[in-house]
Structure 1
Amino acid sequence: MDLQIALLLGQDGLVNGAIYGLMALALVLVFSVTRVIFIPQGEFVAFGALSLAMMQTGRVPGTLWLLCGLAAAVLVVEGLRTARGVAVNWFATLGWCVALPGLVAAVVLLWKPQSLWAQSLAALLLITPLGPLLYRLVYRPLAGATTLMLLIVSVALHLVLVGAGLLFFGAEGSRTPAFSDAQFQIGDMTISGQFLVVLGVTALLVLVLFIFFERSMVGKALRAVAINRVGARLMGVPTDLSGDVSFALAALIGGVSGLLIGPITTVYYDTGFLIGLKGFVAAIVSGLASYPIALAGAVLVGQLESFSSFWASAYKEVLVFTLIIPVLWWRSRNSRHVEDEE
């Protein structure tokens, strides 16, 4: 291996690490707020890229019908809760179940965006509400369940969404146009504009999330729920709405990730699972608790995958997932066990 090949592999590793970093951030966010290890996070990636690809061909994305179906189901569930005397925040419910799906339907069916940027915005509007709707329909009724039970439910939901992806998008993969076709020559290395777009959007999104959690009242409320859910509830923080917001952010991050990788690799209906799983490895490096360590772990995973593809391409997935073993061993030796009920 010479220097030029090492630089190319390092560039690929940075791109992969940026995407895995976004996945890790979303997983840490959801777990810290709701205790859910959100296995289907990668499905948002695939749905985002494939929805954009369908709009590029002039077709209506199947995820629009998924969104409308989930919204109708959540409305029925909330109506049943109201009939049983349970207090329901109908303002938020109508926002997630009526206002946003109606806006998305109007954008996709009536406006029919033509430019790449407008279609990307429509894809994000389409994917983002899926997060809180899935939370309300699947996870909120199990708020008191153990972490293991929530993990089992996440696996089942992943299988359902993969099947839905096959139904909506078919078995053939798709690619989307690059956001930048520029090429920059630095010495013997060529840097593509899409590479800079991926790094730039990732850095911007991380900065926005940092400001959101540090400066905004909603972000501080989410941090309070992550630190002490019972204490936050006693201080008046609506923990159910915090779950909505965390899942909405996770869906938005997944949609952005899908738009970023669509021009780089062919995306299939089940592509998101492997991407989400590598993001999960990065999140485990952080102990599902630290955002900076999760980003560092994602860069490590991306570089390990890139260089493994050169030295031992047949075993690159094995080497990446083997990374989780020493991390878990070290954490088991240095962490104090806390019972789930505590």
Structure 2
Amino acid sequence: MDGTIALMLVQDGVTTGAIYALLALAIVLVFTVTRIIFVPQGEFISFGALTLSQLQQGTAPSIVWLLVGFGGLAAIFELVEALRHRRFSAVPRILGWNVGLPVLLAFLAIWLAPLKLGLGVEIVLSLALVAPLGPYLYRIVFQPLAESSVLVLLIAAMAVHVALTGFGLLFFGAEGSRTEAFSDAMFNVGPAMITGQSIAVVAVSFVLMLGLYLIFERTMIGKALRATAVNRLGARLVGISTSLSGRTVFLIAALLGGLSGILIGPLTTVYYDTGFLIGLKGFVAAIIGGLISYPIAAVAAILIGILESISSFWASAFKEVIVFTAIIPFLIWRSLRAGPAEDEE
């Protein structure tokens, strides 16, 4: 392997690692705020890429029916709770967010899809269809289990993963799709050639990570999420709604997952179940960060991307094995550092 090939492999590794970093940040964020190991993160990757692919083909995206269905179920849960506590004034808001918004987005998608209004509009519309699935999913599945143990929440997350994979097959079919590239530009940097698509992926990922940092450091909602992550009971005592915090982080996670799918769509063919394996690599980075450290998880994701790229060159048949084996030394190290576990009463 000469220097040119090495630079190409590092470029590919940094590009995919930037996407893994977004997924790792989403997984860490969801876990710190809600204690949920968000296994279904990968499904939003597939949903985002396949929704954009259908819009680029000029067909109405199938995900609108999943969005309307999830919104309707969330509305039923919210209405039952509101009527039980006699909060009749909340009914219009519940219907507007859980029924009106999905129906409006579905109408816009069906109306605008044949017009092919360009990549920018199609990306925004794809994210608008995918992102609300996160809060609806939290309300339907995880909010009733919010006080359960981490193991129960993990089992529920696995069940959601299986269900979303089935929905992906039902609504998108078994055929894979690849979306159009953001840019066809090519740049020569010394002996290496950098594609405009790679630059776009890294730039968008960096801007998103910087934006998340500013949100958590400078805004009230970011500070509320940090407070919930530090102490859920304390957050409730000072008036922070942990349910709202959960819906917010699920919205962010779904948005990051959908955008990751849109970013990776031009680089590889995406199937209904492709996102699970990609999400697992983000999960490996999150585990290396201890499910609490955003910077370590982001750096680990970049290194995992480079390791995967180099492994695909030297031993392509074993690249997945090599990537997932890399987590073992960190698990052993953390196990040795941790003290003895106390039995719960």
Q: Could you tell me the TM-score, scaled by structure 1's length?
A: 0.96
CA shift for structure 1 position 81: 2.0
Q: Tell me the alpha carbon deviations over residues 249-272 of structure 1, each in whole angstroms, 9 at most, x when there is no partner.
A: 000001110110010100000000
Q: Secondary structure at the match of 2:111?
A: helix
- Would the aligned equivalents of 2:20 and 2:279 in 1 still touch at CA under 8 Å? yes
| Structure 2 partner of 1:256 | 259
Q: Secondary structure at the match of 1:190?
A: strand
| Structure 1 partner of 2:106 | 105
Q: Distance in 2 between matches of 1:93 and 1:336?
A: 46
The residue type equivalent to 1:215 in the other structure is: R
Q: Distance in 2 between matches of 1:337 and 1:135?
A: 33
Q: Distance in 2 between matches of 1:254 and 1:301?
A: 18
CA shift for structure 1 position 141: 0.5
Q: Secondary structure at the match of 2:59?
A: coil
| Structure 2 partner of 1:122 | 125
Q: Secondary structure at the match of 1:184?
A: strand
Q: Secondary structure at the match of 1:172?
A: coil
- Would the aligned equivalents of 1:21 and 1:279 in 2 still touch at CA under 8 Å? yes
- Kindly indicate whether residue 73 of structure 2 is the aligned counterpart of residue 76 of structure 1: no
- In the alignment, which of 291, 294, 303 is matched to residue 294 of structure 2? 291
| Structure 2 partner of 1:195 | 198
- Kindly indicate whether residue 319 of structure 2 is the aligned counterpart of residue 316 of structure 1: yes
**Which blocks of at least 5 consecutive residues in structure 1 are unaligned?**
none
- Would the aligned equivalents of 2:82 and 2:91 in 1 still touch at CA under 8 Å? no
| Structure 1 partner of 2:5 | 5
| Structure 2 partner of 1:161 | 164
| Structure 2 partner of 1:330 | 333
The residue type equivalent to 2:110 in the other structure is: L
Change (3 A) 1:204 1:333: same
Identity within the alignment, %: 56
- Would the aligned equivalents of 1:20 and 1:275 in 2 still touch at CA under 8 Å? yes
- Would the aligned equivalents of 1:96 and 1:133 in 2 still touch at CA under 8 Å? no
CA shift for structure 1 position 309: 0.8
Q: Distance in 2 between matches of 1:159 and 1:96?
A: 26
The residue type equivalent to 2:101 in the other structure is: L
Equivalent positions of 1:1-342 (< 5 A) are 1-85=1-85, 93-94=94-95, 96-112=97-113, 113-336=116-339
Q: Could you tell me the TM-score, scaled by structure 2's length?
A: 0.95
Q: Tell me the alpha carbon deviations over residues 4-47 of structure 1, each in whole angstroms, 9 at most, x when there is no partner.
A: 11001101100111011000000000000000001000100100
- Would the aligned equivalents of 2:45 and 2:275 in 1 still touch at CA under 8 Å? yes
Which 10-residue stretch deviates more, 121-130 or 180-189? Answer: 180-189
Q: Distance in 1 between matches of 2:143 and 2:86?
A: 13
Q: Tell me the alpha carbon deviations over residues 257-292 of structure 1, each in whole angstroms, 9 at most, x when there is no partner.
A: 011001010000000000000000000000000100
Q: Distance in 1 between matches of 2:336 and 2:110?
A: 55
CA shift for structure 1 position 107: 2.1
Change (3 A) 1:67 1:2: same
Give the RMSD, CA atoms, in angstroms: 1.8
CA shift for structure 1 position 187: 2.2
Q: Secondary structure at the match of 1:185?
A: strand
Change (3 A) 1:92 1:234: farther
CA shift for structure 1 position 105: 1.9
